[in-house]
């Protein structure tokens, strides 16, 4: 699949940051559709001549659901006013307490969507679409309690592969990233622990919990992924963004992982909102040839923002700054 | 009692919100009197040719007390520099640890004030005045621990009626609204449970606790009240504002109650302050003929702001959006 | 009302304890009726030629309810196999989530029963009977959350008087004793704080919370009451028993209160059971002429036990050992 | 598989309990093997001419592991002094932090063992043996955090079926029973929620959390299972034992479930020990023809005890006492 | 040591505040050196013809360390890009987990630096320099857990004197100020408790914990110190700034201490940042002759700001507003 | 100092335990003196022709204090009815909130006593006596919060040496052992961390916190000490006893430390009492020539018990079972 012209803006003069924010952030406002209290933690993917997305829109009753949307340029989005209505995939009855924090990726013949599904507690919901018009829901991947399920964009040794973060039923103050496999998108096993929070001493921004963020994409060094890390301050959690590179053939192996964050809440739309001090990546678009990546992230659990980087520079930084 | 010309500003163009904020908010600054750290969660009432109010002013030692004030227009307020000094009402000795979050309403011949009174823990204090110059304090209504005591503006079946929220001795993470009755403003009983927090799934913004807000006023559909609801995020409580309609003759019955909030912290003076992300209604002024209501609410536990609405539209919305 | 021959056993030789346990304790076993998991925290009163009682029997689903019983000697009890079915007193509909920890006392013409009533959280239920066959339930005395409601056995200055302990909705780790008044057993007010937990330094066994225990009885020094006090250890709460004397004419005034406990869990049936280390007094029988008192208390939340004392010695000890 | 003569003792005279304890309990002492601090929460199965078992023995460093043992009569056990050393089943490398709370059942051609496996937190370990001499370990069934994995003794609709209790990484204060399926004992899916804790009001002994206990066995009414339920007292958790009957063909359906416990800590070896007040069933032996069942349960996290019952009476009680 | 011209700006017109903020705050940005995530809670001292400082710079891995810097005017600072590398003082091996919240003062012949040193938990590190080029580290003053160690700028009765706040290993929700003495900067004793948090009723802004802030300086009334006080809101801790005057000859005696704060988070750079709502003083510069003091404080755990005051006015206010 | 004939009883037949309990335990009952609720966690030392001791006696108000006592045989003790009244040592005024958990040892010319002293929180009190009649109190060793201060019985490199456990102000759920030095029993420094709790996986009985227990005594392998370790169960803390050997010349070095406990609560007087499941060593008597040691320990925070062992066997076990 060839990427469209992804959104882009040059690094600001005087900046030496690895990633830099879009000057017109946030690209999606909290009330962009009539029913929404907030739109954040959302995912995009190249689609047709443009881009498609799956968006977390919490409505004004603060009920969480996911919505489809389209865009020509990846910046200006038209989001449906009604949440996605799933038909039956490999499960007969589709149970729904709530849905949030979607990711989306194309594998073989269709677009797979994963999200946090309410089923007596949060777990990982799975669905797919061919056209972003009709959507199908499969069996949940895991038992509760789980969050941040992120699929690899191709099968690994013939099996689907998904990262996730086992959790509990509230504001989980712990969390590691695991990798699990499935032959059929129905039964899952071969669970491997791949990444833990760090010690406070080694890298405090990710010492409480971590979770997979964007769908990994292949680089010469392996699978590049952006993830979130959390620190507990005396005024609650603060979420920042780091990068990791997993082994190409055996993604159970974390080759590199940044000791420093690449992005931390430091502008007003990240620091102030429904949940202050949150930067939460859920997707990237990348143009390998042009050496560009754009990261889509939720800010302050309220809006969607993007940041840009050079893929080769991110790789270099991740290697040189690795834990 | 006929309403004065209450404060008013038309709904902004392009807005379809049920309530809209005053463009010059906040109307009362945190340091509006010399001693104050913050002024918020305050109540107003028509009085004489203008308006009177009772204000929560925390001083720079962050001690909580209530202060009287007057205004010609309901927006520009002259607040006394000394807190209200209560004389004995139906209790001999007036004990005071602290006072906060006042409400005020006229019943029969006088203005009744209720507030959260420190008496080995928070409970509901009751006082009255005829002229906003001389004030009298009665017996506390209930045993601790209680907050958000709100009187009905007339007797119900011959008895005074008060809503309240039984609490505990700290930052209570639970709370329902009850209704109690008194023949004499001294002894209270007939306690009825009338409203609970919702499930997270049904309406998350009010899933942790709820509390009565403004003094109810009569409409064709029943008693209209604005109340606050609280959600627990990983960074603390967030307070939003909803509306409810209680049965005219038997206010134990909640006829309608909004699933969606009407106002949530989303401008800087509501999102940033001594306690971020708080919208807390304590009073309304209404002009039934002109179909107008103005809501007075504390913002971020720091300042006082107001919002406007059409009574008929609020009623319609509450009915159509009811849980 | 003249006391029957109340249960009695002389102080063991070599003992100098103020109170001493009955050698055949516990007098009521956990499974004394077929449905019961445990019987404890129960109250007795002279009745007819013998004694009547109201018993907390948790059934094998561990649902809490109160049961009536009769006894000739105060030791051997016949407890009904069905819980008390209340008819309407001054309230139309009798709501029941659960009932526990009853107290009982005779005032004027009838036996009044108070207990902890589940009504969206624990509060104080009130009922009465003339004959221990037919029972009537009144309005709850207070808003939740409250426990340990104990009536005085006669009106004080023309009003009913009740002690209680405002609480929260769980295993409350705090608690003071208040005294409230009612002209009619329907509306309650004039709430007065009368006793607090002590500091750890002054009297650690009662430093977490305290609650009224037995119905007070008049002595020359004033109202004699046994109450429970709680300490928090690293292995949970431990409940012990102390005594207090309240002013005869103004029971808001605590004249004396023991710094030392009179009874602490130290025999196996108090130390081991459904909740280890609990001694919880709910009633006394006294014979003023013979200078005898017998205390009924729950042990380890599992069984009922009794202890004996000389009234004059308890008074003397309470005065000399007062905080 | 035909049962041997399982252990048996008649119901004591004067007892009408559904289950009754063995008079010589505990059958396994805490120090029955030289290294053990405690032996409890263990499972047994008919094997050869007698019985085999898998035992949780915590050593004197209080490290948890599982040990094999044999018995002629089901009461006197010879437990190996070394823990089970697993060889590779369908996983190459066998990771072990700790193992505890085993269950065992025969399916088709071998004995399957499940237990709580430490793998960056507790999850469900799976192994098998043909002879109780050589043991093989498979992939863990689920992501952490999980406990109380219990297999059905035959395939359901062609797939292995396992109950489990998703948990967190500590003393989980919540917990429901789920049922999951696997075509191959490697990949798991079709996760169904089947049983929740009850409300405090409905059945308090199981209101905090519940977990599958013994391997289900088929009766005319369906799959009979004994499970544990937990209540939170002010002195910690208390574990009791109930029964449930699941639909024969679709065990996702809970047909009956006891409102009352069948066994609660009430004798000294259940009330006193390393964790007081615990009764924890992990296995049964049953003789359908003789209408007998014997339940093996851990007591006070210290020793193993057994209790007896009539299968038909348990079924009848479960149906009549169902929630 | 004679003060340089310390930074200064006149009190704004219309302001009657005791302290007023510098109009160009913050004076040090979060990313003032390339590696820094945030620079805050830092200390300065007159040095040579200008000023020297020790700065807390958390890097982008959010690891805490202290850095030296120089300034001509006390406002524009040149901070080293590498943290201070300590040589051995009176301890052979220099252990370092982390360093934060430095203070600095000149005593006799050298500049002493104290900070919070990670040594199996936070305690007070001590070092010294003669020239701000070469630094030496001594034995830690105390056992963990301790924070906010602040030296007096001269010996008291021949001994070094240090204030500190015993703490625990996390976000300590309690804390008093103690004063300890040492004959040799190696062994410490004569620990005296000097200041506690206040009751919520008396002065709520400092009711959770307090800690020494700036190095005391001598005035006619005694040692003037600025300290921080903390209140616990439902959205976390809020840090404000007060002043205290200790007895000149016996600083164990607190002569005056402000009931009101002098500065509380109320501008955006104090209210929004890595930890919202923090004002945290660590140093002053004073010009006794000109009656000026400038306070250096960390804002929102993100940047450094300064505020000005008249020494005589602060003294007068502290005396008149004393608890 | 030559040991008297210390208490002794041979190892029971059939026992292979390293330590074995005295058959007549507990040697001191909870009410051995008239005022006591409990006597436990106490220390003994050879004195004159017999033994002296310092005892923790909590009175019936559950106030903690320490009492002196004497014994001819180390088993039958005569404990003073009044607590120790300290005169001034190197501190003028003797402050006392409470005293508990004493240790005692002879150094050079006098008996030194350390204990947990209430001084705005627990810290380490120090006193001395020459004759167990007159007692003197010194400066507290450390700032709060600290517990379990244990002196070495001789100076190390010319300085007094004390182990302690930095803590917090409640039921501390963490804790390591440190070693500090003093030239003069007034100022303390050179704080070294020497022992931490273990991981749950390595040795769960000591995974929550550990604290020094008995005064170390010299063996060929170094300083032998018995200490307590704590595990957190779902029903609270459980305290067990282990041994450690510190380097003779540099006791900062822990040479050996048992992975297994030597004694864990497993008889009724250790499992049941004011705080169930506690074994807490505070002293030993040893007879090097006869290769005997007797350990004095508090049981269930209620009584004093003793256990015996062979010194050489304990050494061997500690070396072979070392972590």
Full DSSP string of F4-38: ------PPPTT---SEEE-TT--SB-TTSSTTEEE
CB-CB under 8 Å, C164 with B168: no
Contact with chain C for residue B43, Cβ under 8 A: no
- Residue C135 half-sphere exposure toward CB, CA atoms < 13 A: 19
Distances (CA, A) of E151 to D252, E158, E160, E213: 68, 14, 8, 10
Which residues of chain A fall below pLDDT 70?
Answer: 1-3
- H or E element in which residue C71 lies: strand C64-71
Sign (positive/negative) of CA torsion B200, B205, B211, B214?
A: negative
Mean pLDDT of D16-36: 97
Considering only alpha carbons, which residue of chain D is nearest residue C277? D235
Continuous H helices in chain E = 268-271, 311-320
User: Which residue matches tokens 């029997």?
Assistant: C57
Q: How far is E311 from chain B (nearest CA, A)?
A: 20
Contact with chain E for residue B121, Cβ under 8 A: no
Mean pLDDT of E98-105: 98
The per-residue pLDDT for D97 is: 87
Among partner residues E164, E176, E187, which is closest to F183 by beta-carbon distance?
E187
User: Do E and D count as touching (3 or more CB pairs closer than 8 A)?
Assistant: no
Among partner residues E259, E265, E276, which is closest to B61 by beta-carbon distance?
E259
Q: A198: closest CA among A257, A148, A117, A137?
A: A257
Contact with chain C for residue D203, Cβ under 8 A: yes
Strand partners for D192: D179
The per-residue pLDDT for E2 is: 53
3-state secondary structure of C145: coil
pLDDT per residue, tens digit, chain B (323 aa), is: 455 799 999 999 999 999 999 999 999 999 999 999 999 999 999 999 999 999 999 999 999 999 999 999 999 999 999 999 999 999 987 777 899 999 999 999 999 999 999 989 999 999 999 999 999 999 999 999 999 999 999 999 999 999 999 999 999 999 999 999 999 999 999 999 999 999 999 999 999 999 999 999 999 999 999 999 999 999 999 999 999 999 999 999 999 999 999 999 999 999 999 999 999 999 999 999 999 999 999 999 999 999 999 999 999 999 999 99
Residue E92 has pLDDT above 80, yes or no: yes
Residue F276 has pLDDT above 80, yes or no: yes
Distance, CA of F285 to CA of F217 (rounded, Å): 9
Residue C253 has pLDDT above 50, yes or no: yes
Least confident of B214-223, E25-34, E92-101, F312-321: E92-101
For A41, phi then psi, to 5°, come to 45, 65
- Determine contact, residues D65/D101, Cβ cutoff 8 Å: no
Neighbours of chain A (3+ CB pairs under 8 A): B, D, E
| Tokens representing residue E182 in the block | 């040492």
The per-residue pLDDT for B93 is: 76
Q: Which residues contact B61 (CB under 8 A, 6 or more apart)?
A: E202, E203, E204, E205, E259, E260, E261
Sign (positive/negative) of CA torsion C133, C138, C141, C145?
A: positive
Q: How far is C185 from chain D (nearest CA, A)?
A: 27
CB-CB under 8 Å, B276 with A61: no
The per-residue pLDDT for F18 is: 97
Q: How far is C304 from chain B (nearest CA, A)?
A: 31
User: Which residue matches tokens 């971590």?
Assistant: A210
Least confident of C88-97, C106-115, C193-202: C88-97
Confidence bin at D112 (pLDDT 50/70/90): very high
Distance, CA of A43 to CA of F143 (rounded, Å): 53
CB atoms within 10 A of CB F73: 12
Contact with chain E for residue F192, Cβ under 8 A: no
Q: How far is F225 from chain E (nearest CA, A)?
A: 21
CB atoms within 10 A of CB F97: 15
Tens-digit pLDDT profile for residues F85-120: 999 999 987 777 899 999 999 999 999 999 999 988
Contact with chain E for residue B234, Cβ under 8 A: no
Distances (CA, A) of D80 to D7, D28, D115, E288: 21, 13, 18, 82
Distance, CA of D125 to CA of D149 (rounded, Å): 8
Percent of chain C with pLDDT over 70: 99
Considering only alpha carbons, which residue of chain E is nearest residue F141? E189
DSSP letter assigned to residue C136: E
Mean pLDDT of E269-279: 98
CB-CB under 8 Å, D181 with A187: yes
Distance, CA of A165 to CA of A174 (rounded, Å): 9
Among partner residues C143, C187, C196, which is closest to B146 by beta-carbon distance?
C143
Contact with chain C for residue F62, Cβ under 8 A: yes
Residues of chain B positioned with their CB less than 8 A from the CB of E199: none
User: Do C and E count as touching (3 or more CB pairs closer than 8 A)?
Assistant: no
* Total CB pairs under 8 A between chain C and F: 62
CB-CB under 8 Å, B238 with A236: no
* Total CB pairs under 8 A between chain B and C: 84
Mean pLDDT of E267-294: 98
Continuous H helices in chain A = 268-271, 311-320
User: Which residue matches tokens 């239920």?
Assistant: C125
DSSP letter assigned to residue C271: H
Tens-digit pLDDT profile for residues B233-252: 999 999 999 999 999 999 99
Distance, CA of B40 to CA of B278 (rounded, Å): 10
Among partner residues E204, E234, E235, which is closest to B61 by beta-carbon distance?
E204
The per-residue pLDDT for D2 is: 53
Confidence bin at D93 (pLDDT 50/70/90): confident
| Tokens representing residue D19 in the block | 């289950």
CB-CB under 8 Å, D181 with A183: no
Among partner residues B60, B273, B275, which is closest to E261 by beta-carbon distance?
B60
User: Do B and F count as touching (3 or more CB pairs closer than 8 A)?
Assistant: no
The per-residue pLDDT for B202 is: 95
- Determine contact, residues E165/E175, Cβ cutoff 8 Å: yes
Tens-digit pLDDT profile for residues A127-142: 999 999 999 999 999 9
Considering only alpha carbons, which residue of chain C is nearest residue D321? C61
Confidence bin at C225 (pLDDT 50/70/90): very high
- Determine contact, residues E228/E299, Cβ cutoff 8 Å: no
CB atoms within 10 A of CB A28: 29
CB-CB under 8 Å, F61 with C261: yes
The per-residue pLDDT for B2 is: 53
Mean pLDDT of D123-132: 98
Mean pLDDT of E199-219: 97
CB-CB under 8 Å, E118 with A203: no
DSSP letter assigned to residue F12: P
Residue F20 has pLDDT above 70, yes or no: yes
> Can the peptide bond before residue C315 be classed as cis, meaning omega within 30 degrees of 0?
no
Sign (positive/negative) of CA torsion B278, E269, A241, A310?
A: positive
Instruction: Tell me the pTM.
Output: 0.96
CB-CB under 8 Å, C260 with F59: yes
Distance, CA of A243 to CA of A241 (rounded, Å): 7
The per-residue pLDDT for B97 is: 87
Among partner residues A144, A187, A191, which is closest to D189 by beta-carbon distance?
A187
Tens-digit pLDDT profile for residues E4-56: 799 999 999 999 999 999 999 999 999 999 999 999 999 999 999 999 999 99
Strand partners for F280: F298
Residue F224 has pLDDT above 60, yes or no: yes
User: Do B and D count as touching (3 or more CB pairs closer than 8 A)?
Assistant: no
Mean pLDDT of D167-183: 96
* Total CB pairs under 8 A between chain A and E: 62
């Amino acid at each position: 699949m060839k990427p469209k012209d992804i959104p882009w803006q040059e690094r600001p003069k005087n900046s030496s940051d690895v990633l830099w924010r879009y000057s017109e952030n946030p690209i999606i406002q909290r009330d962009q559709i009539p029913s929404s209290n907030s739109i954040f933690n959302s995912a995009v993917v190249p689609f047709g001549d443009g881009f498609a997305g799956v968006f977390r829109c919490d409505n004004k009753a603060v009920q969480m659901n996911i919505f489809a949307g389209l865009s020509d340029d990846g910046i200006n989005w038209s989001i449906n006013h009604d949440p996605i209505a799933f038909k039956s995939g490999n499960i007969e009855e589709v149970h729904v307490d709530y849905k949030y924090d979607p990711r989306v990726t194309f594998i073989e013949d269709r677009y797979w969507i994963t999200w946090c599904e309410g089923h007596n507690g949060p777990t990982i919901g799975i669905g797919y679409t061919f056209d972003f018009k009709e959507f199908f829901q499969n069996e949940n991947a895991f038992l509760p309690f789980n969050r941040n399920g992120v699929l690899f964009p191709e099968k690994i040794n013939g099996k689907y592969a998904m990262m996730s973060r086992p959790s509990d039923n509230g504001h989980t103050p712990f969390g590691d990233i695991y990798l699990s496999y499935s032959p059929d998108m129905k039964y899952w096993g071969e669970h491997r622990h791949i990444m833990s929070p760090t010690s406070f001493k080694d890298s405090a921004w990710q010492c409480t919990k971590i979770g997979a963020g964007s769908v990994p994409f292949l680089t010469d060094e392996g699978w590049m992924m952006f993830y979130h890390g959390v620190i507990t301050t005396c005024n609650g959690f603060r979420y920042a963004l780091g990068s990791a590179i997993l082994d190409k053939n055996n993604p159970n192996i974390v080759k590199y992982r940044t000791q420093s964050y690449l992005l931390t809440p430091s502008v007003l739309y990240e620091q102030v909102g429904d949940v202050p001090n949150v930067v939460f990546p859920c997707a990237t678009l990348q143009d390998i040839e042009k050496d560009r990546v754009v990261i889509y992230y939720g800010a302050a659990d309220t809006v969607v923002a993007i940041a840009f980087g050079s893929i080769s520079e991110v790789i270099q930084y991740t290697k040189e700054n690795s834990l």
